[in-house]
Amino acid sequence: MLIPHPLLGPRDAQEFTYLGDAALLNRPDGMAEGAEAAFAEYVYLRDNPAGVHRELWFHEQGDRSWLVVTRDTTTHEILGAELARDVKLKGGAA
């Protein structure tokens, strides 16, 4: 798979390590009411869709940036990639 890195252009997916669903960017507030249940859900539960999936990849063998890659889990087709920083600053991965 080739990941279209927003700064470096197409890069081999082998240069990256995979973390999982980009919803991990939306960390719950540990001080809020019901934080324990919110964290159990955040840490352990996943949508795990068959189809378009937004996910976190770390460019470990490259510029060490975190990307949000949009990819189809039924075909492995990569539909886009953004810097995770930009996604987070825009308000999360929803």
User: Where does this chain bind another protein (CB under 8 A)?
Assistant: 1, 13-14, 17-21, 37, 40-41, 43-50, 53, 55, 71, 73-76
Nearer to another protein, 50 or 89 (CB): 50
How near is the Cβ of 19 to another protein at its closest, in Å? 8
Q: How far apart are CA 66 and CA 81, in angstroms?
A: 10
H/E element holding 56? strand 52-58
Nearer to another protein, 36 or 89 (CB): 36
Q: How far apart are CA 64 and CA 69, in angstroms?
A: 15
